[in-house]
Amino acid sequence: MSPRARLLVALGLATSLASGLAVAPAQAAPLAPAARAADAVTPEVSSVPVGAEPDGTTVSLDVSIWPRDAGRHPVVLLAHGFGGTKESVAAQADELNARGYVVVTWSARGHGRSGGRIHLDDPAYEVADAKTLLDLAAKRADVELDAPGDPRAGVMGASYGGALGLMLAGTDRRVDGVVSAITWNDLADAFFPQSAVTAPATTAAGRRPVDLPGPFKQVWATNFFLSALRGSGPAATGTGPAAPATGCGRFDPTICRLFVQTSETGTPPPQLTALLRAHSPKATMNAVTAPTFLVQGIGDSLFGLDQADATASALAATGTPYAVRWSDGGHDAPSSHEAEEVEASYAWLDHYVRDKADRESALPTAAFTYGTRGGRVGAPTTLHTLPAYPGLSGSTVETRELPLSTTSGALLHPPGGQPASLIAVPGLAALGITVSTYQIAALPGQSAALDSRPIAEAATVVGSPTMRFTVTSDSADVTLFASVWRVTGGSVTLTNPLVAPIRLAVTPGRPTPVTISLPPATYVMPAGTRWRVLLTSTESTFSNSRTPGRLLISDPSALTLPVAAGAEVGGAAAVGVDTETLVASVLLALLLLASLVGWLLRRRRRRLLPSRPDLADVPLVVEGLVKTYSDGHRAVDDVSWRAEKGQVVGLLGPNGAGKTTTMRMVMGLISSDAGSVHVLGEPVTAGSTVLGRVGALIEGPGFLPHLTGRQNLEAYWSATGRARADAHFDEALEVAALGGAVDRPVKSYSHGMKQRLGIAQAMLGLPELLILDEPTNGLDPPQIAAMRPILRRYAETGRTVVVSSHLLAEVEMTCTHVIVMHAGRVVTQGPVADLVDSDDTTILDLPEHAGHDVVSAGVHALERSDGISEVRVDTPTRLVVVAEHGRAEVVAAAVAAGLPVVGVSSRRHLEEVFLGVISSASGPAGAGTTGEPGDEGASLIERLRQVRAR
């Protein structure tokens, strides 16, 4: 597998973790299961034989049936999502059974304890299996019949199960009602979406003039395979095949081979396209007569609103009763109106299946329900209804023209397709996170922005805005991605995490007119805002061409907007999970989500750590930290210290002392085995809210190399969600001191320039606590000297700075306090002034011209003087004298010994203290060696006294 394919597999895993799915779509359905009632009926469990695999292997399905007594009752086939099992829908089965239905659930072929392989809703296998279950239901004494062998039946499912329900209704007239959620109409179009056509729009046959597949939705395709792999293994019934050793789990080998081939090339072979189309409701929608309720997610990046729209159009063409509901849930996030969606789904089945309502009767729910958000992803959602479904083009609602002020734009497709714009990472909305900022979506040179004029009158777009423009390319194969952004003042916001992919066949050098449909959704458009259509040449979740190219976008038309004003339903509901926004360097977010499980576990621990009101005014308190790694090495051993307001605290120690490990625990980057960290009285673990009041540079800066220094800072701050005015960019850029280089890409920076930019980033927002790990790495002496007053002035405003460094002279000149660590322990700490001062030590300065013989003879004579315990030559011009006498007597003795003294002081260099303490701590009784813990404090004090006496 290529490096790119391996990367996308990793991204797919990250996506599945981000969306909180144990399996890809199974738990994402808006029809999520509730807790099972204590008095629920016990289902009958059986193994039901179905059709054999292509190689003749026999298959049985693991089936559960919720029975009813006292007469006959309608039946509901309740299908689960991809990668799930019948247990995924057990709670829904309880609820439907309580409403008067016999309910059949089963683990689909290739899932759970059922045998066989996964064929992706193949009519010959999964759909045929569902027909077998209808046959089984027709033979039951508790199931109502419309005719012999024809049970009164409904089918309900989401995603994988939703498509199966539509396909079953299209091939078996015994189905009397359908509820289908967040699913596909055409699986080929879903994985290879195309949002544009070239002029002329269609041929006489109604086909695109060039039938190119759209860009491959590779991240979601990878996620499909990963969800299957997590559930792979030998079939528990004993009749199914064991998971093959090809890395495809229980997938049909042909499907697996075709998807792997497509992941390598980015282009589907015709056999895969034909297979996906055949495994789709589209092929048989004209035969569906059962009234159908469609639920689709507005922000669903797997199966968008276009898929439900195609299904609705087919139902309308045949006169089949249907209703459409646009949910704010889907594969990317849970619905905030789950209870209403579940009740509407049950009401639909009650009306048409249980109560046998006439097809001409009033619908049991609104014909069209949609939600609107007033702000960004995660904002409250309000429901509205319209008396008829308008379609994505707004055929039954008002349309408006919104002129565009931008007329053209040039962009490049980078060699290898990297770096790629990051617009929407599937699944992050489940965490309430908007990763994308405009800076990491609109990569310099790879994007073109088409802006509208300010909107005079507020409106709500319901559907897909459309526009035209002209493309001129030096390549015959053009790929673009369109997204819609709201511009308010200096803020640019992605209101829906969606992109519209475009792939065109053009004649190089010849202008080609293009009509595009922008991502279908609801867009709230306040008066005074501007709207931006962003066109990018790459997008991180789609496959990207590796061939470089140049494009020119020109002559954009006005935006055509389908505008609606539906009746509001009830109040707004909160959406998403309250989670801190991630910093902009989450482009490495493709790595970010792989550790989510550990993050959630650490959040549990955080809830157990109490706040400390007594420490509310103390910026940082470290108490009893312990960290032992898996190899048994104890990197940090019972470390305690604090940093007060106005202090610049230096954390010192030799390599391996535990400084960086301590810093990482202070920032919640790793968990401690024992002890605690409190910032301003609040406990710190991963994701702690109080970390928003801390700025940090730990283990070097990380930036997006293709962005400029200024853009990196702006992207980072934008991702915090705080107002731009609070960032204090000017102060941060003054710290960076990059001059004109601040507007150059970071990939052109030296190590020292990146380090200065990292310090500036840590200072954004002027945090109350600033933590810098080796901040002077890569800086030259003038830059180091310039950093001293900046840190001191920062602390003098009442804030606190903690600096880890190995440059002792700099710590001495910059810090007010120091903590010295060795072998994982604190061996001494205190104010710098106290540590370098000593009553029994006198520093004698000698002139530079003093000869070696004179100094040597004077030292020997001084050593023989009464009361002098030690004379040490620190440098050729500096002596350290330890004596029982006062300094005047020491100076007199030195002069009497023939030493030409020109200066006297009691202050030693911090280096002397540091080396002395470390030397003492490394001895047999030193920290981290032997000795009782209870004696450690006293022994350290005694060692410090000994060092001072040297």
What are 731-766's pLDDT values in tens digits?
Answer: 888 877 888 888 888 888 888 888 889 888 999 999
Residue pLDDT, tens place only, 270-304? 999 999 999 999 999 999 999 999 999 998 999 99
Region of poorest pLDDT, from 318-327, 411-420, 590-599: 590-599
- Tokens (6 digits) for 170: 């299209």
**In the prediction, which pLDDT does 611 show?**
86
Report DSSP letters for 787-826, one per residue: HHHHHHHHHHTT-EEEEE-S-HHHHHHH-SEEEEEETTEE
Q: Which residue has the higher pLDDT, 781 or 527?
A: 527
With cut-offs at 50, 70 and 90, classify the pLDDT of residue 909: low
Beta strands in 242-298 (DSSP E): 292-297
Write phi, then psi, for 640 (nearest 5 degrees).
Answer: -135, 135
Residue pLDDT, tens place only, 674-711? 899 999 999 988 767 888 889 888 867 778 777 888 88
Most confident residue range from 285-299, 441-455, 559-573, 868-882: 285-299
With cut-offs at 50, 70 and 90, classify the pLDDT of residue 875: confident
CA 117/CA 255 separation, integer angstroms = 10
With cut-offs at 50, 70 and 90, classify the pLDDT of residue 65: very high
Region of poorest pLDDT, from 7-11, 62-66, 182-186, 643-647: 7-11
**In the prediction, which pLDDT does 112 show?**
93
**H/E segment holding residue 221:** helix 218-230
Q: Is the dihedral of CA 462, 468, 469, 471 positive or negative?
A: positive
CA 515/CA 39 separation, integer angstroms = 57
Predicted model pTM: 0.65
Report DSSP letters for 254-285, one per residue: HHHHHHHHHHHHSS--HHHHHHHHHTSGGGGG
Whether a cis peptide bond, with omega within 30° of 0, leads into 419 is yes
Region of poorest pLDDT, from 229-233, 805-809, 904-908: 229-233
Write phi, then psi, for 773 (nearest 5 degrees).
Answer: -95, 110
Q: Is the pLDDT of residue 268 over 70?
A: yes
CA 940/CA 945 separation, integer angstroms = 9
203, 209 in Cβ contact below 8 A? yes
CA 297/CA 32 separation, integer angstroms = 14
**In the prediction, which pLDDT does 203 show?**
38
Helices first, then strands: H and E counts in the chain: 24, 41
Torsion of CA 162, 164, 170, 173, to 10 degrees: -100
Q: What is the mean pLDDT of residues 326-345?
A: 88
Beta bridge partners of 469: 514
With cut-offs at 50, 70 and 90, classify the pLDDT of residue 312: very high
Q: Which residue has the higher pLDDT, 228 or 607?
A: 228
Q: Among candidates 121, 120, 138, which has minimal Cα distance to 65?
A: 138
Residue pLDDT, tens place only, 342-360? 999 999 999 999 999 998 9
**In the prediction, which pLDDT does 264 show?**
81
Residue pLDDT, tens place only, 544-570? 887 888 999 998 999 999 998 888 886
Q: Among candidates 517, 520, 509, 487, which has minimal Cα distance to 405?
A: 487
Q: Is the pLDDT of residue 320 over 90?
A: yes
CA 127/CA 168 separation, integer angstroms = 6
Q: Is the pLDDT of residue 57 over 70?
A: yes
What is the rounded average pLDDT for all residues in the chain? 80
**In the prediction, which pLDDT does 353 show?**
97
**In the prediction, which pLDDT does 624 show?**
92
Would you tell me which CATH number, out of the four given (2.60.120.10, 1.10.3720.10, 2.60.120.260, 3.40.50.970), belongs to the domain 398-563?
Answer: 2.60.120.260
**In the prediction, which pLDDT does 570 show?**
65
Q: What is the mean pLDDT of residues 32-50?
A: 74
- For residue 176, the tally of other CB atoms under 10 A from its CB is 23
Q: Which residue has the higher pLDDT, 70 or 157?
A: 157
**In the prediction, which pLDDT does 397 show?**
72
Residue pLDDT, tens place only, 928-950? 333 333 333 333 334 434 433 44
Q: Does domain 608-830 have CATH number 2.60.40.1180?
A: no
65, 8 in Cβ contact below 8 A? no
**In the prediction, which pLDDT does 115 show?**
96
Task: Indicate the domain borders of the chain.
Answer: 21-190+281-386, 398-563, 608-830, 835-948
CA 887/CA 882 separation, integer angstroms = 10
Q: Distance between the two ends of the chain, CA-based, in angstroms?
A: 65
Q: Which residue has the higher pLDDT, 707 or 643?
A: 643
Q: Is the pLDDT of residue 597 over 90?
A: no
**In the prediction, which pLDDT does 35 show?**
46
- Tokens (6 digits) for 785: 């000297």
Q: What is the mean pLDDT of residues 563-582?
A: 56
Q: Which residue has the higher pLDDT, 583 or 225?
A: 225
Single-letter amino acid, residue 726: D
Q: Which residue has the higher pLDDT, 631 or 584?
A: 631
**In the prediction, which pLDDT does 781 show?**
81
**In the prediction, which pLDDT does 940 show?**
35
**In the prediction, which pLDDT does 440 show?**
85
Q: What is the mean pLDDT of residues 400-408?
A: 80
Beta bridge partners of 626: 637, 674
Q: Which residue has the higher pLDDT, 51 or 245?
A: 51
Whether a cis peptide bond, with omega within 30° of 0, leads into 767 is no
In sequence order, the 6+-apart residues with CB closer than 8 A to the CB of 682 are 611, 612, 688, 689, 690
Q: Which residue has the higher pLDDT, 398 or 247?
A: 398
**In the prediction, which pLDDT does 876 show?**
80
Single-letter amino acid, residue 730: D
> Measuring CA to CA, how many Å separate 273 from each of 159, 192, 265?
19, 9, 14
- Tokens (6 digits) for 239: 């009749």
List, in sequence order, the alpha helices (H) in 609-744: 659-666, 709-720, 729-736
Q: Which residue has the higher pLDDT, 26 or 841?
A: 841
Which residue bears the tokens 């404090």? 937
DSSP 665: H
- Tokens (6 digits) for 747: 């990939």
345, 162 in Cβ contact below 8 A? no
**In the prediction, which pLDDT does 282 show?**
97
Residue 368 DSSP SS3:
strand
Domains 21-190+281-386 and 608-830 share a fold: yes
**In the prediction, which pLDDT does 391 show?**
93
Q: What is the mean pLDDT of residues 825-846?
A: 78
Q: How far is CA 832 from the centre of its chain?
A: 43
- Tokens (6 digits) for 354: 């249980």
Q: Among candidates 451, 443, 471, which has minimal Cα distance to 553?
A: 471
CA atoms within 13 A on the CB side of 841: 22
**In the prediction, which pLDDT does 20 show?**
30
CA 798/CA 207 separation, integer angstroms = 69
**In the prediction, which pLDDT does 606 show?**
40
Write phi, then psi, for 719 (nearest 5 degrees).
Answer: -70, -20
Would you tell me which CATH number, out of the four given (2.40.50.100, 3.30.70.100, 3.20.20.140, 3.90.180.10), belongs to the domain 835-948?
Answer: 3.30.70.100
Structural fold of domain 21-190+281-386: Rossmann fold (3.40.50)
Q: What is the mean pLDDT of residues 902-911?
A: 70
Q: Among candidates 866, 907, 864, 873, which has minimal Cα distance to 889?
A: 866
Per residue in 264-291, is it b (16+ CB within 10 Å) or e — as a string?
Answer: eebbbeeebbebbebbbbbbbbeebbbb
With cut-offs at 50, 70 and 90, classify the pLDDT of residue 396: low
Q: What is the mean pLDDT of residues 248-266?
A: 86
CA 60/CA 109 separation, integer angstroms = 8
CA 53/CA 633 separation, integer angstroms = 54
Q: Is the pLDDT of residue 19 over 70?
A: no
